[in-house]
Amino acid sequence: MQRQLSFRESEEGVSPIIGTVLILGIMVTITGTMLAWGIPQIQESEAYAIYTSSQNNLLNFDADLDHVLLQGEGSSRTSTVSLSAGTLALREDWTKLDEIRYYYTTVSWFDPEIVGVKTGSESFAMKDNNEVVSEYRVTLTYPDNDGDGVPDEPSWTGTSDLLVSGFPPLVHGTKATFTSTENSTVIGGFLIYGVDSLSYSYSSVSGVYKMRMFNGAMVSKEPGSKEFFTTSNPLIRHTGSSSSYGSLTVYQTNYTAPSGSKAVQAGNYNFQARNQGGTDNSFSVYSLRMAFAGDGVSALRVYYLNYWDFSARQFDFNQNDSTTAANMGFEEDIIYSQDTAFDFRVLERTINVEFGLR
């Protein structure tokens, strides 16, 4: 009887210990799950809320920038923008800028295949797929990027039947016109632009998000995302129907602001934008080709393909044309063309932006 009673008392003593261990195990599991899954989800939601708030504020400023661009030289707007702690920068270093190139034809019978045009290039390849023009006269006009009143390079003119070379390196702001050596009729040309942008970035535990404003557009990269997408459409004006334009106008902005990056603390900021004027470029064209280089402006390519009548086309050369031209690689750009001429304009505008705590 004593031995049985002893066993009974021992069994009753084991049960509370097992229960305590089980409860502790459950608590540890729940706590671990919260740390491994719950807290990151909360942090991600917080980061996205900050991202959305900053985006909405910058979208309001972007709308004001559109008005400044449209209203002409001297127009200005002041906006209040609420930002979280992050970095605001003017991206103006030409070696790091995104790039947009516009190619155009001014006659209906010219279908150029052009590869190799970009900043730093000292040669490019060009031929007429319609085989009407066999030899070209190319004139390059260089910009005054240093602001001394004199073009960075003198204008250059040369002739070629395929490879165009011997000119100073191409830079942002370079413009070209093509004529046939048989006459003086301009048959096409191109323009190269480096895309200045106002860039805002914020780093969180869920990653870095970025927003950039340029050409009346705003593109964004969400926390954890690898690609920019169009948040606000680029500023475009047109007449005519979507199947046949009478005119098509795009804006190319250049910003002036305090140089370099500026760390901003969370708070409300006053942004003042002023239109400093610029140059109007106008051409009567039959076809337009746009090339985008850079993670920010590449979002515009998707926008034009989805919402306008542009289509994708690959431009390249084969070994039968020229080994040198073939080695220049290929470009996947977008094009628009129609049977009748339309007015194509690129309006260059310099926007001065100043900002400070409210």
For the whole model, what pTM was predicted?
0.85
Q: Does 242 score more than 80 pLDDT?
A: no
Residues 162-218: tens digit of each pLDDT: 999 999 999 999 999 999 998 888 999 999 999 988 889 888 766 788 899 999 999
- CA quadruple 146, 148, 149, 150: dihedral positive or negative? negative
H/E segment holding residue 320:
none
pLDDT for res 295: 87
Rounded CA-CA distance 74/350 in Å is: 11
Residues 101-127: tens digit of each pLDDT: 999 999 999 999 999 999 999 999 999
Name the residue with higher pLDDT: 198 or 12.
Answer: 198
Q: Does 261 score more than 80 pLDDT?
A: no
Rounded CA-CA distance 341/284 in Å is: 6
Contact yes or no for 197/213 (Cβ under 8 A): yes
The two three-digit tokens of residue 212, written as one number: 């950039």
Contact yes or no for 262/83 (Cβ under 8 A): no
The two three-digit tokens of residue 350, written as one number: 């310099």
Contact yes or no for 115/317 (Cβ under 8 A): yes
pLDDT for res 311: 95
Distance of CA 278 to the CA centre of its chain: 21
Rounded CA-CA distance 189/138 in Å is: 9
Burial class (CB in 10 A: 0-12, 13-18, 19+), 96: exposed
pLDDT tier for residue 7 given thresholds of 50, 70 and 90:
very low
Contact yes or no for 228/298 (Cβ under 8 A): yes
End-to-end alpha carbon distance in the chain: 88
